[in-house]
Chain A
Amino acid sequence: MIHAEPTEMTRLAQGQGFLSLRGLTRRYDHFTAVDDLNLDVAKGELVAFLGPSGCGKTTSLRMIAGLVPASSGHIVVDGRDLTGVAPYKRDMGLVFQSYALFPHMDIARNVAFGLEMRKVPKAEAAQRVKEAIAMVRLTGREHHRPAQLSGGQQQRVALARALVVRPSILLLDEPLSNLDAKLRDEMRTEIRDIQKRLGITAIFVTHDQMEALTICDKVVVMNHGRLEQVGTPHEIYEHPKTAFVAGFVGRINRLPGRASGGVAQVAGITVSAPGFDGPVDVMVRPHRMILSTGPVPADAGLHQLSGTVTRATFAGDILEYEVEAAGTLLKTEASTRGGEALLAPGTPVTLSWRPQDTFVYPAS
């Protein structure tokens, strides 16, 4: 139970974002789905909530939508505290993974529903419905039933339906998960374009890191109900704050080591590890490791490891290798741009990478 003071109200209203989440928490009987989530989203920004299933991203979204009551914390939109407000009064648009179109209404009526609820005059509503349907390129399908449309078309209807009411915030709950790979790419671009064009603030929940990186302005990585890192896609990928983020966003090789005095010893080499002491995990992305059969110049400033190829796979664009080095199996890959042949297992190789591609985390 929260006893709000006017002062707290003021403080909340002064949050930096258009959408501010303050200490948002959802507890169930035996576990906490979302734990003390704090986030600011600027107007017109597209933010992705990324994480494995059960990380709390969908629960967070549903708390923002008002479909799940928050156990504690606040949701503030444009200075207005929406905590405890019924979903139908929040003026948000939500696009579901399952589309959730009204099966008994045609497309036009589906799209018009929100306007009807807002008692928009008939003529204006008709015009806006027409525009919204045109926006998602479904003109001519107005009188089809949802069941007569493909999955992609249905999702576009859902998008039009959510957007036609000009919601303050657009919420997208894994909107592309039910689509096949090719359609997913198309829709992703389309959603991004429309969102940019309308300048609408949007939250996009996904478990697909590629989707998150490519579509949004900002990524929120969540795990076990807690926020792991917030940042631009570039920050998240290049500077993962935690081992979890490093492992979840992109592939990773992990080498156990030990740190003391600002450096870590791992597999016979020394990497910079300021501020660490004790066991650490050193991580390097596979494609940042360069595989060479000959010697590597020692003065190139690269970290180096010698090993043996244990498995080699031809994958078209690239060659995938598994290399045993210092008792650890490491993944790496080589380009086929020069028509290189696949190395046979057992070939002795050297792996080298730039020091700035090395991430160090406390051992898990």
Chain B
Amino acid sequence: MTSLALSHTEPRRLGPLGTASALLLPIAVVNAIGFLWPVVNLLKMSFREAQASGALGAGYNLDTWTNALTDSFTLELITNSVGVSLLITVLTLIASYPIALYLHRSTGTWRTVLMVLVVAPLLTSAVVRTYGWIAILSDRGLVANALMALGMAEPPRLMFNLTGVVIGLTEILMPYMILALLSGFGRLDPRLEEAALTLGASPLKTFWRVVLPLTAPGMALGGLLCFVLAISSFVTPKLLGGGRVFLLATEIYDQAIVTLNWPLAAALSMIVLVVFGISLTLYARALRRIA
């Protein structure tokens, strides 16, 4: 500041940096207390000594990690979770693509109505939607009763197994996928399709050669999102799985709340984070290849 200016400017209490720090302080505090510290603590917890009764020992060791990583049950849990999440991601993509494409091509009020129909489920509690699936898939539910009315004596079991979990999660993750696809469809100018058609490509070929590659980034984003949400989802597998579907997330909850092995729960959480990190890397790599 120049001293020349002093007759007309009042001394500033805070410089821009000071003001910025003051404005950022509250969120920094929340972030530190509610995020950074708990996550660091979680990592620490995975090295705590676990005792048989579920109480925590005072010391730190590698037991939880060595047990978890050499245990076929945990390893199966990881591969299962990854496999099921991948399956759900693919199904979600298949189910969401037509909706997103149709939405992208619709206009005006109709588009708004459809958007509401996509967003409303997203904002409706997963508990509500899972309950809806119980109503559809249970033994006395919509599908079973419809099949019995059609003369099927023993309708297939759709709930309390992996089938139910996959169906429910696919639907629950669809809005995320649709929105991700839509954000990626920005590059899809309908004129490009018209250009391809006028150049002699069949509609199918146009879709395969023009539409699909252009929408690939949206698909990658949606895929990442759904995979991560699927592998960390817990309410739906818990309610639709009937205690027979074991995924990392349900296991974390059980270990934390029921079996009370906090170090193991923490270690499993770290494994989820590692899987998450790997998928993020793969996504970044895929995106670079597409672009």
* A–B contact, 8 Å CB criterion (strictly below): yes
CB pair B4–A4 under 8 Å, yes or no, is yes
Q: Tell me the smallest distance from the CB of A278 to a CB of chain B, in Å.
A: 44
Q: Closest chain A residue to B12 by CB distance?
A: A86
Q: Which of A2, A74, A85 contacts B8 (CB 8 A)?
A: A85
User: B3 on the interface (CB 8 Å rule)?
Assistant: yes
Judged by a CB distance under 8 angstroms, whether B20 is at the interface is no
Residues of B within 8 Å of A82, CB to CB, are 8
With an 8 A cutoff between CB atoms, is B9 at the interface?
Answer: yes
Q: What 1/0 mask marks residues of chain A from 81 to 110 whose CB sits below 8 Å from any chain B CB?
A: 111111001000000000000000000000
Answer yes or no: B70 CB below 8 A from chain A CBs: no
Asked if B5 is at the interface (CB within 8 A of a chain A CB), the reply is yes
Return the chain B residue nearest A82 by Cβ: B8
Closest residue of B by beta carbon distance from A85: B8
Main SS of chain A's interface residues?
Answer: loop
Contacts of A80 in B (CB 8 A): 8
Count A interface residues, CB 8 Å.
14
- B2 part of interface (Cβ distance < 8 Å): yes
Interface residues of B in 1-33 (CB under 8 A from A): 1-5, 8-9
* Residue pair B9, A2 in contact (C-beta under 8 Å): no
Q: Establish whether residues A3 and B8, one from each chain, have CB atoms under 8 Å apart when the complex forms.
A: no
Once bound together, how far apart are the Cα atoms of A9 and B1, in whole Å?
16
**Which chain B residues border A2 with CB–CB below 8 Å?**
2, 4
Which A residues lie within 8 Å of B1 (CB)?
A: 84
Is A269 positioned at the interface, with any CB of B under 8 Å from its CB? no
- Min CB distance, B181 to chain A, in Å? 32
Q: Which residues of A contact B5 (CB under 8 A)?
A: 81, 83-85
Residue pair A89, B8 in contact (C-beta under 8 Å):
yes
Residues 58-75 of A contacting B (Cβ, < 8 Å):
74
B residues near A84, Cβ cutoff 8 Å? 1-2, 4-5, 8-9
> Are A85 and B3 in contact (CB-based, < 8 A)?
no
Q: Nearest CB to that of B4 among chain A residues?
A: A4
A86 contacts which chain B residues (CB < 8 A)?
Answer: 9
Q: Is A300 an interface residue (CB 8 A)?
A: no
Chain B nearest CB: distance from A341 CB in Å? 45
Q: Does A117 contact B (CB under 8 A)?
A: no
A1 CB-CB contact with B under 8 Å: yes
* Distance in angstroms between the alpha carbons of A84 and B4 in the assembled complex: 8
CA distance A85 to B9 in the complex (A): 6
Docked pose: A74 CA to B2 CA in angstroms: 10
- Per DSSP, chain B at the interface is loop
Expressed in whole angstroms, the Cα–Cα distance for A88 and B43 within the complex equals: 52
**CA A1 to CA B2, docked complex, whole Å:** 7
Give CA–CA (A212, B9) in the complex, Å. Answer: 35
- Is the Cβ of A4 less than 8 Å from the Cβ of B8? no
B263–chain A nearest beta-carbon distance, Å: 51
Instruction: Give the CA-CA distance A81 to B9 in the complex, in Å.
Output: 11
- Which residues on the A side are within 8 Å of B2 (C-beta)? 1-2, 4, 83-84
* A3, closest chain B residue (CB): B3
**Interchain nearest-CB distance for A89 vs B (Å):** 6
Chain A CB within 10 Å, residue with most, of B2, B4, B5, B8? B4
Report chain B residues within 8 Å CB of A85: 5, 8-9
- Chain B positions within 8 Å of A89 at CB level: 8-9
B3 cross-chain contacts in A, Cβ below 8 A = 3-4
Q: Once the chains are docked, how many angstroms separate the CA of A1 from the CA of B1?
A: 7
State how many angstroms separate the Cβ of B216 from the closest Cβ of chain A: 37
Among residues of B, the one whose C-beta sits closest to the C-beta of A2 is: B2
A2–B2 Cα gap in the complex (Å)?
6
* Chain A residues, Cβ within 8 Å of B8: 80-82, 84-85, 89
Q: How far is the CB of B135 from chain A (nearest CB, A)?
A: 46
User: In the bound complex, how far is the Cα of B8 from the Cα of A1, in angstroms?
Assistant: 17
A80 to B5, CA, bound (A): 10
**Residue numbers in B under 8 Å from A4 (CB-CB):** 2-4
Which residue of the partner chain B has the closest CB to A86? B9
A4 to B7 alpha-carbon distance, docked (Å)? 12
Report the minimum CB–CB distance from A49 to chain B (whole Å). Answer: 24
Interface positions of A from 275 to 323, Cβ below 8 Å from B: none
Per-residue CB contact flags for chain A residues 204-216 toward chain B (1 = under 8 Å, else 0) read 0000000000000
> Which A310-347 residues have C-beta < 8 A from chain B?
none
Report A267 CB to chain B, min CB distance, Å: 51
Q: Which residue of A lies closest to B6 (CB)?
A: A84
A83 CB contacts on chain B under 8 angstroms: 2, 4-5
How far in angstroms is the closest Cβ of chain B from A8? 8
- Chain A positions within 8 Å of B9 at CB level: 84-86, 89
**Complex: how many Å from CA A84 to CA B5?**
6
Closest to A72 in B: B2
A282 CB → nearest B CB, Å: 47
**What's the minimum C-beta distance from B13 to chain A, rounded to whole angstroms?**
14
B→A interface (CB under 8 Å): 1-5, 8-9
Can you list 15 A-B contacts (CB < 8 A)? A1-B2, A2-B4, A4-B2, A4-B3, A74-B4, A80-B8, A83-B4, A84-B4, A84-B5, A84-B9, A85-B5, A85-B8, A85-B9, A89-B8, A89-B9
Q: Which 3 A-B pairs have the closest CB atoms?
A: A84-B5, A4-B4, A85-B8
In the complex, besides A84-B2, A84-B9, 14 extra interface pairs with C-beta distance below 8 angstroms are A2-B2, A4-B3, A9-B4, A74-B4, A81-B4, A81-B5, A81-B8, A83-B2, A83-B5, A84-B8, A85-B5, A86-B9, A89-B8, A89-B9
